[in-house]
Amino acid sequence: MPTDYFSLEHTGNGVAHLQLNRPERMNTMAPPFFPAIRDTVEALNAEGRTRVLVISSTGKHFSAGMALDVFAGGMAMLDTSKARQRLAFQDSLRQLMRCFDAIEHARFPVIAAIQGGCIGGALDLAAACDLRVCSADAFFTVQEIHIGMAADLGVLQRLPKIVPPGIAREMAYTGERLGAERALAAGLVNAVMPDAAATLAHAMQLAGAIAAKSPLAIAGSKLALNYAVDHPTADALEQMTLLQSAIFDIGEMGVAIEAWKAKREAGFDPLAPVERV
């Protein structure tokens, strides 16, 4: 599903690769970008054959976030001068938030491969992913504070659950750049690689390792991990009892065990398609 903002390809073995493709604009985001990425992720989720999605980019920077001309362009959504407009603003903002929620809610893990700047809205996107790897020149910044607004597409809600709250607050209040090595130390990224090519290669290696596992077990693990983030342990364990009763499949386990013993890849069925309404 190519768009003006990114391309999509299936690399095989259930790995999909979405690549931002506006390097001449530092891969900035404009309003059409958000429903495009939402619809793409939801379509992959509904289809069932994608086991891992890698999101990468082109050019010097992963993404400079929302294009500043969006704020100066007189978008109707940005009119908060009256009560009716403020009510409409709330609903429009919720719709934008849900575009990145689609990444978090997908049945498959999503890996962000980041080089250069991961700025503003791009950090909202990266925070919604399951894993992040970056190049040595990468940096992360809550850019919105520099232009007089609070970040509003999920980074303030997700970042404190990924990195220590003090670091999240420092980033939110100062807008200072978090470099690659500090991002690794803080747990924001899982690995720092020498350059963009090595970063993408590492992300693809991770994706391949995940895609080789049972997609049913991976989907269940993601559901359990996501639930545990916002719920007490006792509630999360109760959820796990219900979840496990739904996804426990002795036949799937037999395939996995046999392949593991033989040191070969298992042939798992894809997840069942989901009818989109």
pTM (two decimals): 0.95
Residue 151 has pLDDT above 80, yes or no: yes
| Alpha carbon distance 82, 147 (integer Å) | 22
* Residue-level pLDDT at 3: 75
| Alpha carbon distance 121, 225 (integer Å) | 24
* Residue-level pLDDT at 77: 76
Any domain includes 272: no
Q: pLDDT for 175-230, tens place per residue?
A: 999 999 999 999 999 999 999 999 999 999 999 999 999 999 999 999 999 999 99
Considering the domain architecture, whether residues 166 and 147 belong to the same structural domain is answered as yes
Sheet of strand 117-119: strand arrangement: 117-119, 139-141, 178-179
Any domain includes 269: no
Considering the domain architecture, whether residues 155 and 181 belong to the same structural domain is answered as yes
Q: pLDDT for 16-62, tens place per residue?
A: 999 999 999 999 999 999 999 999 999 999 999 999 999 999 999 99
Residue 74 has pLDDT above 70, yes or no: no
Residue 72 has pLDDT above 80, yes or no: no
Considering the domain architecture, whether residues 80 and 174 belong to the same structural domain is answered as yes
DSSP 1-57: ---SSEEEEEEETTEEEEEE--GGGTT-B-TTHHHHHHHHHHHHHHH----EEEEE-
Any domain includes 168: yes
Q: Which domain holds residue 107?
A: 6-211
User: Alpha helix locations (H) across the chain?
Assistant: 33-47, 68-72, 83-105, 121-128, 155-158, 165-174, 180-186, 196-211, 215-229, 233-247, 250-262
